[in-house]
A and B are shown apart, each in its own frame.
Chain A
Amino acid sequence: MSNYSLSVSATIEPSATASELGTFLERLHGWVVTVDHKRLGILYILYSTFFLLIAGAEALLIRLQLAYPHNHVLSAQVYNRFFTMHGTTMVFLVGMPFLFGFANYIVPLQIGARDMAFPRLNAFSFWLTAFGGLLLYYSFLGGAGLYGVGNAPDVGWFAYAPLTERSFSPGHATDYWALALIVSGFGTLGTAINIIATVISMRCKGMTLMRMPLFTWLLLIVSMLTLVTITPLTAAQFMLLIDRYLGGHFFDTQAGGSSLIWIHFFWIFGHPEVYVLVLPAFAIANEIIPVFSRKAIFGYPAMVSASVAIMFVSLGVWAHHMFTVGMTSVSNAFFTLSTMMVGVPTGIKIFNWIATLWGGRIRFTTPMLFCIGFLFQFLISGLTGIMLSVSPWDWQLHNSYFVIAHFHYVLVGAIVFCIFAAIYYWYPKATGRLMDETLGRWHFWLFVIGFHITFDTMHFLGLLGMPRSIYTYQPDRGWNLLNLVVSIGGLIQGIAVLIFAYNFIVSYWRGKVAGDDPWDAWTLEWATSSPPPVYNFEELPEVHSRRPLWDLKHPDDPDWEYES
């Protein structure tokens, strides 16, 4: 793999950053005041890994409570707080920071830039996000505004009105929910603006839009979607705070306010948010699947246009979360059809990934295993999504465990799988060392088995009529065995994640030294040293095709001869 040399890594001292190590306090200070996109990317990843473990622990406690009927691990009140915090944490403090962490680290490297467009805004956005997370969790300590009304938010991650109004949620718990998400929302907005400006205005010479790596393309699309996705939630949360603190009536049903409009506002945010989370997963698969199939991605222009199509269509599907609130049949039909339409560009993507695998010399490394798991599970979750988009079917199964199973299939089966794949794939770039493959395989197999035990079974619980958000159930409903199975699967996933955490930490010191390009990949981040120097590239690169490193490694058969 190393029979070629790159000017950039030959001339740069790889340990340039390591030699500047000072005392612990100096190093800590360096991390706090940093504006380097790579360091901020790592901070994002560490932050979201930390919250992944916390929200995962919450999920395990929820499953422990539900393992047997009439269980007493958690009280009803604590259970409500836990499922609220689990959902809120996973979406806002795990999913989004993970994707922005990868975007921060990878996008400037892939487009051959030295940093993001606005490095200080970048640092500001990260610390806002971090503060939002701490604020949310501080509610466990400081949220009890009134004696006996509880501390952490317990209104569900969608916080339906009028439950969130002062009369029904006294104390400060709901305020923590709204304020924490407003703060982290501003951080998200800042990062989205930054990524857009970076991708549009910082590309290296020759990197036209149609030569951009698909990862960068999709992150650009995600950021554009984020601009119009996170802001409606911020607006609605401001309205909620106006209601709670200034005596406004936006969602006050006693004064003519409407709870329905909150549901609309929330899902105008909430549904595109799903695509904000899943498009980066596609982005990761777009990088990993071709590299380990040893083929260029199949249908690059189709991939780009399918992603753009998803961005637009996803803005018009939100009310499929609301079939049971009693909309007109025209609305029901519209949102059923628009939801089904999302399946078209998504299907194009699935076919393209399979076509990329087809005839390739597949290398089953850990990142590739996770991506193949993603392909399979994302297909299933897409199919249950089509089922739920049919409004009569949704009337039957709304708010049941079938819905829970469906969206966990997306959020865990697709997004978390791709996040793990991305960590295994880019870890050597960020640390200079590979993560252990054996432990990686253990992690993958335990996780995939635990995942299917948990979430396949949940579909049946939903079909048997088990509703979501209940803290316990009667023993005679026929749900006992299935619930126990779901909980056991959760435990297996928990063990897998602990193996991952061990691997993640220990490989930093004991991992195999990776070199600049351990996977023999083709995008620019692999052209610089591992870890990259502060300035990324000594000389800014110039590209002539979608796979600049392929051109470099194969001067006799470069890509730019084939791409128009």
Chain B
Amino acid sequence: MSSVPINHPGHTIEWHLPSKRRVGMSALITGESAIFTIFVAAYVFYMGKSLTGPTPQQILEVPIVGTICLLLSSLAIYRAEKAIEEERMASFTLWLAATITLGAVFLIETTLEWKKLIYQDGLTISTNLFGTTFYSLVGLHATHVVVGLFLLSATFVFSLFGWVDSRQSERFGVIALYWHFVDAVWIVVFTVVYLIGR
């Protein structure tokens, strides 16, 4: 079939296509964005419509440390990406560990926040509309952080065994893309839940 058509002028066309993994991940991110949009829309729609307390004004505290950590983790994974592309494996492992630590700090702060909300303030998912929408939206995001941490930790373990090198840089780039998305979503969630909704 490469002979179709035989007498075409000017052979050897330049042919470059985008990486299928990046395209696939971008498509997944588009779909995920739609899921988050619906949950954010529900949160905004139900803002201030709870029939009973507690309200966000009374009990919500701004998670500054976790937010800074999560945003910094995007920077860390960017450095890890650069390192793996340039075959600096020790640096890669280090930056990867930093990313995981920063993500874990974020999760720990969320856990402590939820513990306080549940045990001290008595807010559960079934208390009122605020509880329902808050735990769903923040929980959905936290689930994505957990998935990301799982992917990153697996890569970290592999790199400790020395199984990762620059040949995997494209695949690692896909994980990094996902992680950047998780961080970007947090900016939206943070703005809606802790800045506008409080």
Contact = CB atoms under 8 A, between A and B. Distances in A.
Given A193-B28, A539-B1, 5 more contacts: A193-B31, A206-B13, A230-B31, A250-B133, A268-B38
Contact of A261 (B35, B42, B50, B132): B42
Q: Which 9 pairs, one residue from A and one from B, show the smallest C-beta to C-beta distance? A: A247-B126, A541-B1, A201-B20, A235-B38, A231-B34, A248-B132, A117-B20, A197-B24, A227-B31
B6 interface: yes
B58 interface: no
A223 B30 CA distance: 11
Contacts of A223: 27
A255 B129 contact: yes
17 contacts: A6-B1, A7-B3, A189-B28, A189-B31, A193-B27, A200-B17, A206-B15, A227-B34, A235-B34, A238-B136, A249-B129, A256-B49, A256-B128, A527-B4, A548-B4, A555-B7, A558-B5
Interface residues of A, number: 63
Interface in B127-149: 128-129, 132-133, 136
Interface of A: 6-8, 112, 117-118, 189, 192-194, 196-198, 200-203, 205-206, 223-224, 227-232, 234-236, 238-239, 242-243, 246-250, 255-258, 261, 265, 268, 524, 527, 537-544, 548-549, 551-552, 555, 558, 560
A239 B135 CA distance: 11
A206 B9 CA distance: 13
Contact of A544 (B8, B30, B42, B51): B8
A482 B109 CA distance: 66
B40 to A, nearest CB: 10
Interface in B76-97: none
Interface in B100-154: 125-126, 128-129, 132-133, 136
Contact of A551 (B5, B28, B35): B5
A8 B125 contact: no
A118 B8 contact: no
B1 to A, nearest CB: 4
Nearest to B136: A242
B129 A256 contact: yes
Contacts of A560: 5, 8
Interface residues of B, number: 41
Given A541-B2, A542-B1, A231 B35 contact: yes
A229 B8 CA distance: 43
Interface in B18-66: 18-21, 23-24, 27-28, 30-35, 37-39, 42, 45-46, 49-51
B27 A242 contact: no
Nearest to B15: A205
For B4, B13, B23, B27, the residue with the greatest tally of chain A CB atoms inside 10 Å of its CB is B4
B15 A246 contact: no
B41 to A, nearest CB: 8
Contacts of A555: 5-7
Nearest to A201: B20
A192 B24 CA distance: 9
Contact of B129 (A196, A227, A257, A265): A257
A256 B51 contact: yes
A516 to B, nearest CB: 12
B2 A201 contact: no
Given A196-B24, A247-B125, A543-B4, A258 B35 contact: no
A238 B132 CA distance: 12
B42 A242 contact: no
A229 B31 CA distance: 8
Contact of B20 (A118, A250, A541, A552): A118
B30 A227 contact: yes
B27 A197 contact: yes
Contact of A232 (B8, B24, B35): B35
B174 to A, nearest CB: 11
A230 B24 CA distance: 17
B126 A246 contact: yes
A548 B4 CA distance: 7
Contacts of B13: 205-206, 542
A195 to B, nearest CB: 9
A127 to B, nearest CB: 19
Contacts of A197: 20-21, 23-24, 27
B136 A239 contact: yes
A201 B1 contact: no
Nearest to B29: A227
B125 A192 contact: no
Contacts of A200: 17-18, 20, 23
A234 B34 CA distance: 10
A211 B26 CA distance: 24
A542 B2 contact: yes
A235 B35 contact: yes
Nearest to A537: B1
Nearest to B132: A248
For A192, A248, A537, A552, the residue with the greatest tally of chain B CB atoms inside 10 Å of its CB is A248
Contacts of B2: 205, 539-542
Contacts of A257: 46, 129
A230 B35 CA distance: 9
A163 B189 CA distance: 30
A5 to B, nearest CB: 11
A544 B49 CA distance: 61
B109 to A, nearest CB: 23
A238 B139 CA distance: 12
